[in-house]
Structure 1
């Protein structure tokens, strides 16, 4: 079920990239025009500030990298405005690539392939087993956490055109809800998953979730997020201020 080396070499360029909406909040204040950034601008921001982006940013960037390496690929959507990428290797096999949800590796989604299975698998999603069910026009992913809890996600396998992808990205970038940061942690014996959501943070391991000590100020949160994600602390702080003002809330 693992991807071939040509795909993995490109995928691994993004191993240190968090999925984050910090950039969305920050960039909303410095751009008067389009909110969906170009790949060139995303690269510039990453070099200057350590940012990466949300699922649309990461998918657009990943598609660009695949195509530069002569691999056919396209975006697919879920019903809830999440986007991932399908890439096709030289043998014509299709793989799901989901940087937005911080998967560890791409995974085979060809039912006819001899390696395809619908058993629960380790090593594809941090701290969680996954199971695929590929149907004619959609894919269902089942996640099984260490506590036994199950959840499902459905992807429409219809290819999304580049224009549709950019339009959907622009729409999403203009919506500010709550700041979110997710980051894979490549440890010695496993890949864990760190997350900041609604002013709580925790790390998910193979053995379960460990909550972090609650913080009291936006400055403390900016410091923690910056340390865990690699994003410039000043950028994080400015973004958190934008979100709080939008929501009319305080951290405490």
Structure 2
């Protein structure tokens, strides 16, 4: 179910990249006509502040890296043009097998979603998603992921594997970047005690998900303390974090 090395080589460039909406709020206030950043601008911001972006930003950047590496890939998405929009990428190996690449949901690595492949399995697998085992149910144009949490909870998510045209994808991206919302979100993968864990900051709460369960952090009311905590988890520029959080505080 693992992707070949050429796909993993590109994917691994993003191992330390969080998914977040802090950049969305910050860039929205910059006054530019276009709200979806180009890859070159994302790289510039990363060098300046170590910031990444939301699922659209990460998917656009990942697709660009696949293109540079000569790997066929394309965007997929659900609920486009709504506040619930989510996008990811499909990368193809030399045999045409499709691998789901979802940086937005902070997957540890891509996973095979072609049922006809001899390597395909519907068994529960570890090492693909932080703090959960996953099992894939695949059809021609969709894949359903079942997530098995350490507390016994089972959830599922269905991906439409149909290619989204570039025109439609970038229109949806622009729409998404204009829907800032009121609740800040940041998710990142953290290697801790021999496993990849998942740390999340959402609506002024934060917690760590591990193979042993979900652990909430101590409550924080002061923005400066949030800046310190987020910086410790992400290495984001502190001045950037402060500015972005103040924008969200004004939206409460």
Question: TM > 0.5 between the two?
Answer: yes
User: Are the aligned partners of 1:26 and 1:236 in contact in 2 as well (CA < 8 Å)?
Assistant: no
How far, CA to CA, are the matches of 1:31 and 1:107 in structure 2? 39
Would the aligned equivalents of 1:140 and 1:154 in 2 still touch at CA under 8 Å?
yes
Alpha-carbon offset, residue 75 of structure 1 = 0.7
- C-alpha RMSD of matched pairs (Å): 1.1
Give the Cα–Cα distance (whole angstroms) in 2 for the partners of residues 209 and 123 of structure 1: 17
* Runs of 5+ consecutive residues of structure 1 not aligned to the other structure: none
| Aligned equivalent of 2:155 | 151
Equivalent in 158, 164, 179 of residue 175 of structure 1: 179
Name the structure 2 match of 1:242: 247
Tell me the CA shift for residue 32 of structure 1: 2.5
- Aligned length in residues: 247
Deviation at residue 188 of structure 1 after TM alignment? 4.8
**What's 1:58 paired with?**
58
Partner secondary structure for residue 17 of structure 1: coil
TM-score, scaled to structure 2:
0.95
Structure 1 residue ranges, 4+ long, deviating more than 3 angstroms after superposition: none
SS of the residue corresponding to residue 161 of structure 2 reads: strand
What do residues 51-108 of structure 1 show as CA deviations (whole Å, max 9, x unaligned)?
A: 0000000000000000111111001112341001000012221100000000000001
* 2:58 and 2:104 in contact (8 A); partners too: yes
User: Equivalent residue for 2:3?
Assistant: 3
Give me the whole-angstrom Cα distance separating, in 1, the residues matched to 2:7 and 2:125. 20
Runs of at least 5 residues in structure 2 that lack an aligned partner in the other structure? none
2:29 alignment counterpart: 29
1:139 aligns with 2:146: no
For 1:131 and 1:89, the matched residues in 2 are separated by 21
